[in-house]
């Protein structure tokens, strides 16, 4: 993606906070003409991602996150999933999205851990739903919420709730998201699951999702376990690939090998879409996926569709892919890890090579 920066008319430092200002992903900025640039490959892009902005930033300090409290730099200059997030006026953003109502597929507001996050997210959500037709998701900050506040989101027209669980076991969550080297309160595994449970009751089946991050130190068995448990509760598991952020505490932690990533993408699809159970996956002594025991025709059909390898994100109004997050898991110069469009014939050939499926079946 080639990007040419243009001035966004930043206000004085004291005036650029949410709810009147938000940050948006670089892809959203390009699509809405806040920034000039182009994507490496053309595709329809209608999933807009917003991020709350505060002078003192996010109060959490997750070891892998670009927005972590102790990561060097000002909050406004910090990247998020290794992508730049330009700052724009909220009302101008809403007007530009409304002018493109026919092409908007999904909108998402990402909260941060901050005392004003709920109040400001509710305000922004109301501005959006008053003018923009695309369904709206909230990627919530569980420490800021309770059941009543989740009900408030539903009242103003929020369609789906996302929970950035990321670490898929309690032990991993505690080590990466709760143990804060610089002091201060870490996050609570129990609180995150309380919000998952409340959101599932309030918003209903397949209207809640948990982000699951591959490469933080979990095993394949851990991932298969959470995929099946969430599927059984009619909760989506959205797959992300750990992509080390410079200067974060996990900056030197290696990214998951592409072969492992492709196999996990396929396994999740088979569980969530084709009804595979945990007993259809076998593991080696290190809990790496070693055998896939299922109908070969179903597996082949799934691979040929290309769908397992597309970006996981909230759907559009008609159930089609709505949120595509280009470049969230890889750099433009690297192999595409999650495709924001349907893979073509050449892409599928590469995917098959990555999978080395003969080793699993």
pLDDT (tens place) for every residue of the chain, 361 residues total: 433 333 344 444 446 999 999 999 998 999 999 998 876 677 678 899 999 999 999 999 999 999 998 899 888 778 777 778 999 999 999 999 999 999 999 999 999 999 999 999 999 999 999 999 999 999 999 999 999 999 999 999 999 999 999 999 999 999 999 866 655 557 999 999 999 999 999 999 999 999 999 999 999 999 999 999 999 999 999 999 999 999 999 999 999 999 999 999 999 999 999 999 999 999 999 999 999 999 999 999 999 999 999 999 999 999 888 898 876 777 777 889 999 999 999 999 999 999 999 999 8
**pTM passes above 0.95:** no
CATH of the domain at 27: 3.20.20.70
Q: Which residues contact 228 (CB under 8 A, 6 or more apart)?
A: 271, 277, 278
Domain of residue 290: give its range.
12-359
Per the structure, the count of domains in the chain is 1
Q: Which two tokens stand for residue 199?
A: 């959101």
The CA-based diameter of the chain, rounded to the nearest angstrom, is: 61
Distance CA 155, CA 304 (A): 41
Element (H, E) at 117: helix 117-131
89 within a domain of the structure (yes/no): yes
Question: Closest Cα to residue 55, out of 111, 17, 11?
Answer: 17
4 within a domain of the structure (yes/no): no
Q: Which two tokens stand for residue 179?
A: 């143990």
7 within a domain of the structure (yes/no): no
- What residue has token string 């055998």? 291
Distance CA 16, CA 31 (A): 22
6 within a domain of the structure (yes/no): no
> What is the dihedral angle through the alpha carbons of 241, 273, 286, 219, rounded to the nearest 10 degrees?
40
């Amino acid at each position: 993606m080639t990007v040419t920066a243009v001035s966004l008319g930043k206000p004085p430092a004291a005036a650029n906070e949410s709810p009147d200002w938000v940050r948006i992903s670089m892809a959203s900025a390009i699509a809405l003409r806040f920034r000039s640039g182009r994507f490496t490959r053309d595709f329809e892009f209608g999933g807009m991602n917003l991020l709350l902005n505060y002078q003192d930033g996010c109060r959490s300090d997750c070891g892998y996150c670009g927005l972590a409290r102790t990561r060097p730099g000002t909050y406004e200059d910090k990247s998020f999933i290794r992508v730049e997030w330009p700052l724009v006026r909220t009302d101008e953003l809403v007007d530009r999205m409304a002018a493109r109502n026919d092409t908007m597929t999904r909108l998402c507001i990402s909260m941060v851990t901050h005392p004003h996050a709920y109040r400001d997210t509710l305000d922004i959500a109301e501005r959006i739903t008053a003018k923009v037709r695309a369904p709206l998701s909230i990627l919530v900050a569980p420490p800021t919420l309770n059941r009543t506040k989740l009900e408030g989101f539903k009242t103003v027209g929020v369609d789906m709730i996302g929970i950035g669980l990321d670490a898929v076991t309690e032990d991993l969550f505690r080590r990466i998201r709760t143990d804060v080297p610089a002091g201060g309160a870490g996050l609570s595994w129990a609180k995150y699951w309380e919000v998952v449970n409340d959101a599932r009751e309030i918003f209903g089946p397949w209207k809640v999702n948990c982000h699951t991050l591959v490469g933080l130190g979990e095993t394949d068995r851990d991932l298969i376990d959470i995929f099946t448990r969430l599927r059984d509760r009619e909760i989506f598991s959205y797959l992300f690939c750990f992509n080390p952020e410079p200067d974060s505490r996990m900056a030197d932690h290696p990214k998951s090998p592409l072969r492992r990533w492709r196999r996990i993408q396929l396994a999740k699809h088979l569980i969530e879409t084709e009804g595979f159970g945990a007993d259809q996956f076998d593991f080696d002594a290190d809990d790496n996926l070693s055998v896939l025991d299922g109908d070969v025709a179903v597996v082949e059909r799934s691979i040929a569709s290309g769908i397992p390898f597309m970006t996981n994100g909230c759907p559009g109004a008609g159930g089609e892919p709505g949120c595509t997050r280009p470049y969230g898991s890889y750099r433009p110069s690297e192999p595409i890890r999650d495709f924001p469009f349907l893979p073509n014939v050449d892409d599928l050939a590469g995917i098959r090579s990555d999978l080395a499926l003969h080793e699993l079946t």
